[in-house]
C-alpha cells in the first residue's frame, strides 16, 4: 500500500505538522536533527518526537536521515565506533516502531545547490544548481588544489569570466548557499573546514568509496535484518563528482552494485527521480522497473536540465509534472509494484513524498526551509495524488499483466 508522507524538520520548521495534515499526508518523514552525526539516537528523544507527531494526528513512519559520518566513509580513526553507534540507533528506532531509515553516501556535501531563489518559468521561485557557479566557487573561493585540472581549460575560462562579473553580495550569497548546507544535509562549513575535510579524502578513489560502503553494509545490514528495518540509500544529488570527490550512487550500475553487496530487504533504495533524473543517461523508467523490488522509499520530483560545464549538468527544480522526468510513467510503474507486493503478501506500506517544491503564493512570506515550502509541496502532492488515482484505475481496467503502458 502506498503511503503519502511529508518531510518535517522538527518544531522549528515554519511549515507545521498541521500544514502537513491539511495537505493530505498521513506519514511524517523526519529525524533528530539536533543529535550530532555519529552519536546514538536516544530512545527517549525518539519517543518524544513520535509524541509530537502523534499529537498532530499523524505518524512518524520514515527516518530521514540517520547521518553517516565522514569517518565511516573514509575509514578514518574511530570509524568502527561510529558504525556501532549507527547500529545502536537502528535498534533504538526499531524498538520504537520505526522500520524505514533513509541515509546517503555523499562525501562532504549532501544535496547541493548554488541558488536558492531562482525565478521559476511560470512564476514563483525554485532552487538551482549551476555548474558554472559551482566551478567559480571551487576555483576562486575554495581554491582547491587540483581544481584547475579537474575542470579543464575551457571550463576554467568560463568560470573566471562568470566570477569576475559577480558583485560582492552575489559572491557572498554563492559561498553561503554552498557552505551553509541545505535542510537535512551537512553541518555548516567554512572554506577552511571544507579544505581540512577534503584532506581526509585525499587519494580516495571511486573503488575506495565503494569499499567503505560495502564494509558499512556488511556491518549494519545484519542488525537491520534482525530489527526488520529497511536501510534506504539516497542517490547522489547532483549525480556527478564534486570537488574532486568520487560519488558512487549515481547510475543504474551503482544501484545494481549496491544491492548486490548485501542481498536482503534490509539493503534498499530511496529512489529519487529528481536526483537520478539530472543525468540524461539515466533511464528513470527502466531503472524503476529493474530495481522496483529493492525500493523502500520514494522521492518523486522532476528537474529541468540546462547547459552544464566540465561534464556536470546545470538544472533547476521543475514543477512535479514538468521538467525532464516523466512522473506519470513512473507513477504507473510504482502502482504496479505496489500491487505486486500486495499479491505476494507483503503488507508493508511503500512510503513516497512529493520531494522539494517551488515557492508559490505566500511561501516567500512564510520563509520555509529552502526546497521545502508549504504551498509548492502541497501542489506537488496534490498532482501526485491525482496521478496515482489515475494509475490505479488504469491498471484495474487493463489488468496488472497487460504489459507496460508507456
- Cα–Cα dist 83/80, whole Å: 5
Quote the pLDDT of residue 375.
Answer: 97
Average pLDDT of span 230-243: 97
Q: Is residue 120 assigned to a domain?
A: no
Quote the pLDDT of residue 184.
Answer: 67
Q: Residue 166: is its pLDDT beyond 60?
A: yes
Active site residues: 234, 272, 299, 355-356, 372
Quote the pLDDT of residue 400.
Answer: 53
Mean predicted lDDT score pLDDT of the chain = 95
- Per residue in 97-146, pLDDT (tens digit) is 999 999 999 999 889 999 999 999 999 999 999 999 999 999 999 999 99
Quote the pLDDT of residue 185.
Answer: 62
Residues 6+ apart with CB under 8 A from 120: 126, 316, 319, 358, 359
> Model-level pTM greater than 0.85?
yes
Quote the pLDDT of residue 339.
Answer: 94
Give the CATH number for residue 387: 3.20.20.150
Q: Is residue 294 assigned to a domain?
A: yes
Q: Is residue 187 assigned to a domain?
A: no
Quote the pLDDT of residue 404.
Answer: 55
Q: Nearest-CA neighbor of 312 among 245, 223, 217?
A: 245
Q: Is residue 281 assigned to a domain?
A: yes
- Cα–Cα dist 231/90, whole Å: 9
Average pLDDT of span 287-311: 97
Quote the pLDDT of residue 182.
Answer: 76
Q: Is residue 139 assigned to a domain?
A: no
DSSP 294: G
Q: Nearest-CA neighbor of 101 among 181, 31, 20, 47?
A: 31
In the beta sheet, which residues pair with residue 4?
352
Contact by Cβ (8 Å): 250, 102: no
Q: Residue 43: is its pLDDT beyond 60?
A: yes
Q: Is residue 189 assigned to a domain?
A: no
When pLDDT is cut at 50, 70 and 90, the band that residue 335 belongs to is very high
Q: Is residue 138 assigned to a domain?
A: no
When pLDDT is cut at 50, 70 and 90, the band that residue 312 belongs to is very high
When pLDDT is cut at 50, 70 and 90, the band that residue 272 belongs to is very high
Q: Residue 352: is its pLDDT beyond 70?
A: yes
DSSP string, 7-35: E---TT-SS-HHHHHHHT--EEEE--TTS
Quote the pLDDT of residue 1.
Answer: 85
Instruction: Tell me how many domains the chain contains.
Output: 1
- Cα–Cα dist 203/183, whole Å: 29
When pLDDT is cut at 50, 70 and 90, the band that residue 397 belongs to is confident
Quote the pLDDT of residue 180.
Answer: 85
Give me the domain span that covers residue 368.
2-111+203-307+319-398
Q: Residue 403: is its pLDDT beyond 80?
A: no
- Locate all alpha helices (DSSP H) within 165-280, ordered by sequence: 168-179, 191-200, 206-227, 252-261, 273-277
Average pLDDT of span 387-395: 95
Contact by Cβ (8 Å): 302, 327: yes
Residues 350-389 as b or e (16 or more Cβ within 10 Å = b): bbbbbbbbbbbeebeeeebbbbbbbbbbbbbbebbeebbe
Q: Residue 402: is its pLDDT beyond 60?
A: no
Q: Residue 398: is its pLDDT beyond 60?
A: yes
Q: Is residue 161 assigned to a domain?
A: no
- Per residue in 198-232, pLDDT (tens digit) is 999 999 999 999 999 999 999 999 999 999 999 99
Amino acid at each position: 500500500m502506498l503511503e503519502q508522507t511529508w518531510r518535517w524538520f522538527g518544531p522549528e520548521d515554519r511549515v507545521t505538522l498541521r500544514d502537513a495534515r491539511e495537505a493530505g499526508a498521513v506519514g511524517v518523514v523526519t529525524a533528530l536533527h539536533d543529535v550530532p552525526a555519529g552519536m546514538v539516537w536516544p530512545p527517549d528523544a525518539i519517543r518524544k518526537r513520535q509524541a509530537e507527531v502523534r499529537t498532530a494526528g499523524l505518524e512518524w513512519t520514515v527516518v530521514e536521515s540517520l547521518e553517516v559520518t565522514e569517518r565511516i566513509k573514509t575509514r578514518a580513526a574511530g570509524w568502527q565506533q561510529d558504525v556501532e553507534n549507527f547500529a545502536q540507533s537502528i535498534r533504538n528506532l526499531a524498538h520504537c516502531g520505526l522500520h524505514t531509515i533513509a541515509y546517503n553516501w555523499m562525501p562532504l556535501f549532501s544535496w547541493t545547490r548554488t541558488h536558492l531563489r531562482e525565478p521559476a518559468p511560470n512564476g514563483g521561485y525554485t532552487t538551482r544548481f549551476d555548474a558554472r557557479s559551482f566551478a567559480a566557487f571551487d576555483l576562486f573561493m575554495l581554491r582547491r588544489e587540483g581544481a584547475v585540472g579537474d575542470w579543464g581549460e575551457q571550463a576554467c575560462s568560463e568560470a573566471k569570466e562568470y566570477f569576475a562579473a559577480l558583485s560582492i553580495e552575489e559572491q557572498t550569497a554563492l559561498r553561503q548557499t554552498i557552505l551553509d548546507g541545505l535542510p537535512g544535509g551537512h553541518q555548516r562549513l567554512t572554506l577552511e573546514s571544507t579544505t581540512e575535510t577534503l584532506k581526509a579524502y585525499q587519494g580516495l578513489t571511486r573503488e575506495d568509496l565503494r569499499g567503505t560502503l560495502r564494509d558499512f553494509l556488511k556491518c549494519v545490514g545484519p542488525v537491520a535484518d534482525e530489527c526488520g528495518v529497511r536501510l534506504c540509500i539516497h542517490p547522489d544529488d547532483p549525480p556527478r563528482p564534486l570537488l574532486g570527490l568520487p560519488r558512487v550512487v549515481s547510475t543504474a550500475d551503482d544501484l545494481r552494485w549496491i544491492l548486490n553487496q548485501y542481498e536482503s530487504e534490509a539493503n534498499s533504495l530511496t529512489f529519487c527521480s529528481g536526483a537520478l533524473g539530472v543525468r540524461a543517461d539515466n533511464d528513470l523508467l527502466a531503472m524503476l522497473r529493474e530495481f522496483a523490488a529493492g525500493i523502500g522509499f520514494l522521492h518523486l520530483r522532476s528537474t529541468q536540465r540546462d547547459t552544464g560545464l566540465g561534464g556536470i549538468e546545470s538544472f533547476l527544480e521543475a514543477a512535479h509534472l514538468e521538467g525532464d522526468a516523466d512522473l506519470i510513467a513512473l507513477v504507473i510503474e510504482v502502482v504496479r509494484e505496489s500491487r505486486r507486493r500486495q499479491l505476494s503478501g507483503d503488507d508493508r506500506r511503500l512510503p513516497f513524498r512529493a520531494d522539494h517544491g517551488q515557492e508559490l503564493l505566500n511561501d516567500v512570506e512564510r520563509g520555509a526551509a529552502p526546497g521545502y515550502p508549504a504551498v509548492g509541496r502541497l501542489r506537488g502532492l496534490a498532482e501526485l495524488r491525482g496521478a496515482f488515482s489515475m494509475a490505479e484505475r488504469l491498471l484495474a481496467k487493463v489488468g496488472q499483466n497487460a504489459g507496460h503502458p508507456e
